[in-house]
Amino acid sequence: AYIQGNDDTAEAVTKRLGYRIYRTDQMCELVEWMHDYNETAEEEDKVRLYGMDMQYDEDSIEAIKRFYEKVDESKKEAYSAKMLEYLGTSDYEFDASKYDEIIALMDEIQKDIDENKEAYAAITGEAETETIKWIATNIQYFISYHVKENATHMARDTYMKMNVDRILEVEEREHNGAVMIACHNSHMTKNLSTQFTFLGKFLRDEYADSYFAIGTDYYYSNDNVPNGNTSERITVKLCSDDPIAYQVKDMPEKKYYIDFSHVDNSTPLGNIINKRIKTGSVGEQYNVLFKVMKMLSQVNYAPTDMYDAMIVFYEVNPITIWED
């Protein structure tokens, strides 16, 4: 909403992002840039920021409550009481035994929005009304993922794919039909190149070359990672052994972008990108074994099997996550 011109500040809305690792100076700068760009952009060229993951429920619950506070206070009280009973007050507090009740409640909210769409849209706007209905659907994804799907990578990426499809549908209907996705390499690789790779393959299978996968890698990475199961974060230095990223040490900015379609396969670089090589892979998990068993923070596939292009750095340093 802020990016679309609502009164607020980039700092305030960045603080409210549900996923903690995005509460950073860099994300705040991106949000502010998008807001400022939209102030002068033509309507069809304006940008929007969507979420596609469904691992958490707290922010979704709060969005529904804020919506009904504006459109129907009595329904807000009724729905809030049920969500409090079934889903708790923070992520993962849900009562798994209330699975059927949670699904039914979200169905009820979606039905209510359908029946009162014009009245609600007159108060909040059509886009917000449609988004709240979508959010109710994502709470169903969330509870199914945790209760019925055993939180598998396949289930998570399947629900993310459904969200990307919905985002693309909105963009094609109302805007310019282009979507840029930001996520971990393991989600967006275009083939089944890792045990966690499903979203990118789903997109490639459906949209073919219209889905262009850009991977990111480093030679050395100083990572800000969780320290086991604690709330503490530590910085660890890891080496990917990526021979492409290693070459960047001799380039002026120690980084570059490479589009594989522009590489002659008969050249040394062409030979490298078409064979299995080690590349880095670190997410929001860290184990001390990463330091002694490097394969735990690497994947071993041909870059052309995973991506259409790569952004490669010689050494990267951690961003600072804002304190709560």
pLDDT at site 257? 96
pLDDT band at 322 (very low <50, low <70, confident <90, very high): very high
What is the distance between the alpha carbons of residues 100 and 57, in angstroms, rounded to a whole number?
16
pLDDT band at 68 (very low <50, low <70, confident <90, very high): very high
CA dihedral 21, 27, 28, 31 (to 10 degrees): -130
pLDDT at 194 over 80: no
Mean model confidence pLDDT for the chain:
93
Do strands 255-259 and 298-301 pair parallel, antiparallel, or not at all (unpaired)?
unpaired
pLDDT at 156 over 80: yes
Do strands 298-301 and 277-280 pair parallel, antiparallel, or not at all (unpaired)?
antiparallel
pLDDT at site 226? 87
pLDDT at site 229? 74
Show the CA angle centred on residue 206, arms to residues 204 and 209, nearest 5°: 45
267 contact partners, CB below 8 Å, separation of at least 6: none
What is the distance between the alpha carbons of residues 304 and 233, in angstroms, rounded to a whole number?
34
- List, in sequence order, every residue forming a beta bridge with 259; answer none if it has no partner: 309
pLDDT at site 302? 96
pLDDT at site 43? 86
pLDDT at site 230? 76
pLDDT at 319 over 90: no
The sign one gets for the Cα dihedral 49, 50, 56, 60 is positive
Locate tokens 């002026």: which residue? 252
Range of weakest confidence among 64-78, 109-123, 182-196: 182-196
Rg (CA), the chain: 22
pLDDT at site 167? 95
Among residues 156, 193, 229, the alpha carbon closest in space to that of 304 is found at 193
Tens of pLDDT, residue by residue over 206-264, are: 999 999 999 999 999 999 988 877 778 899 999 999 999 999 999 999 999 999 999 99
What is the distance between the alpha carbons of residues 219 and 155, in angstroms, rounded to a whole number?
32
Which helix (DSSP H) or strand (DSSP E) does residue 87 occupy?
Answer: helix 73-87
Give phi and psi for 264, each to the nearest 5: -75, 120
188 contact partners, CB below 8 Å, separation of at least 6: 181, 199, 200, 203, 213, 215
243 contact partners, CB below 8 Å, separation of at least 6: 272, 277
Among residues 236, 203, 200, 197, the alpha carbon closest in space to that of 220 is found at 236
Q: Hey, what are 247's tokens?
A: 């070459």
What is the distance between the alpha carbons of residues 227 and 255, in angstroms, rounded to a whole number?
29
Range of weakest confidence among 1-5, 87-91, 105-109, 125-129: 87-91
What b/e sequence results for 91-111 when a residue is b if at least 16 CB atoms lie within 10 Å of its CB, and e otherwise? beebeeebbeebbebbeebbe
pTM > 0.95: no
302 DSSP 8-state letter? -
pLDDT at site 187? 92
Contact (CB, 8 A) for 284 and 225? yes
Strands (E), the chain: 214-226, 233-239, 255-259, 277-280, 298-301, 309-316
pLDDT at 168 over 90: yes
Q: Hey, what are 52's tokens?
A: 């596609």
Could you tell me which residue, 286 or 324, shows the higher pLDDT? 286
Tell me the mean pLDDT in the region 184-188.
91
pLDDT at site 324? 67
Tens of pLDDT, residue by residue over 258-307, are: 999 999 999 999 999 999 999 999 888 888 888 888 888 899 999 999 99
